[in-house]
Amino acid sequence: SVVVVGSANLDLVVSAQRLPGPGETVLGGDFRTVPGGKGANQAVAAARAGAACAFVGAVGGDAFGRQLRDGLVAAGVDVRGLRTADGPSGVALITVDAAAENCIVVAPGANATLTTLEPADRAAIAAADVLLLQLEVPPGVVAEAAAAASAAGTTVVLNAAPAAPLPGDLLALVDVLVVNEHEATIVAGDASIDALLRLVPRAVLTLGARGTAYGDRSGARVRVAAPSVEAVDTTAAGDAFTGALAVAWAELGAGAVEHALRWACAAGAACAERPGASVALPGRARIDALFHA
Ligand code: ADP
């Protein structure tokens, strides 16, 4: 099974011909709300990919919080570790222009209240195969979760997004680091497997439509091409990839890395084929179909 400790945001999305400048008002088009946040997205990705998945996070005591909770439950995610905090849920205010360029402000809201784990969260982490982390909740709880996993022999997978330099005490607890090229540059100074392996024992570098690269300190190097798809919207492709990688790692362990990477690439590609972010996260049947294509 997989446990995710991370963020849940409601994306408030409006389309407009062009993005407004400072002090300017532009008339927008359709408005929609979409469940998001890297933590919740990766939990939904893992559940749709077929794993038993639990999410530890926090939403607000508002209507957005209920919508976020309902979305996780509908995807089959175990939400016993989802707190309801006083105050607002995390939101992302997103404006998208006609060329699909966007402008985003994130208000962390309840995510900022996730500062520590409960005993039940630590027990869930200890019983899981994989703990999956990102960097959208306070660093203290990320480190606490990684330490709980490490002590129990649960594999720690860290998706270092949004990109930030990583403290040494956290790095020492990470088994598998997953980053895209931009994140790798910020985390390791260079978008290369060799640079990442100076920080962690196993590293996965996602390369968009080019697929992914993997390396570990035993000297293994793997390169996997992404399945060729008609990409219409690559938002959340990284979340689909990371969620599926955690599932494959939980099911097959470190001995089947190439299989896990190919399967995760199929999940990322399947997400890129469909419009939208969390709504485009693929189910196991679609991942398997692209994997075997
Ligand atoms: P992020 O979304 O975090 O920037 P990437 O763009 O590297 O991450 O995408 C993550 C994974 O999703 C890639 O490794 C690849 O497997 C898949 N993917 C992304 N874009 C495409 C695409 N255009 N065609 C096929 N697969 C894609």
Is residue 97 in a domain?
no
Is residue 142 in a domain?
yes
Q: At which residue do the structure tokens 């939208």 appear?
A: 276
Q: Give, for ligand 1, the residue of 206, 223, 273 to mutate: max count of ligand atoms closer than 8 Å to Cβ.
A: 206
Residue ranges lining ligand 1, Cβ < 6 Å: 180, 206-209, 211-212, 226, 229, 231, 234, 237-238, 241, 265, 268-269, 272
pLDDT tens track for 7-24: 999 999 999 999 999 999
Sheet holding 202-206, edge to edge: 82-85, 53-60, 2-5, 130-133, 155-159, 176-180, 202-206, 212-216, 221-224
Is residue 201 in a domain?
yes
Is residue 103 in a domain?
no
Q: At which residue do the structure tokens 């330490």 appear?
A: 147
Q: How many domains are there within the chain?
A: 1
- Helix or strand run (H / E) with residue 101: none
Instruction: Round to whole Å and give the CA distance between 286 and 253.
Output: 22
Is residue 61 in a domain?
yes
Ligand-binding annotation for 243, yes or no, is no
pLDDT at position 277 is: 84
pLDDT at position 127 is: 98
Instruction: Give me the interface pTM, i.e. the ipTM.
Output: 0.98
Tell me how far the alpha carbon of residue 87 lies from the centroid of ligand 1, in angstroms: 35
Is residue 125 in a domain?
yes
| Residue pair 163/196 in contact by the 8 Å Cβ criterion | no
- Helix or strand run (H / E) with residue 149: helix 139-152
In this predicted structure, the answer to whether residue 275 has a pLDDT above a threshold of 90 is no
* Coil vs helix vs strand at 35: strand
pLDDT tens track for 202-231: 999 999 999 999 999 999 999 999 999 999
Instruction: Round to whole Å and give the CA distance between 142 and 129.
Output: 17
Ligand-binding annotation for 207, yes or no, is yes
Closest residue to atom 6 of ligand 1, CA basis: 208
Mean pLDDT lowest for which of 155-164, 238-247, 275-284?
275-284
User: Which residue in 29, 121, 26, 134 sits closest to 90, CA to CA?
Assistant: 134
DSSP letters along 218-239, please? TS-EEEEPPPP---S--TTHHH
Is residue 275 in a domain?
yes
Arithmetic mean of pLDDT, 123-150: 98
pTM over 0.90? The answer is yes
- Structural domain including 232 reads 2-7+38-83+111-292
Arithmetic mean of pLDDT, 55-76: 98
Single-letter amino acid code for the residue at 72: L
Q: At which residue do the structure tokens 């980053």 appear?
A: 179
pLDDT tens track for 142-158: 999 999 999 999 999 99
Is residue 264 in a domain?
yes
CATH, residue 266 = 3.40.1190.20
Ligand-binding annotation for 231, yes or no, is no
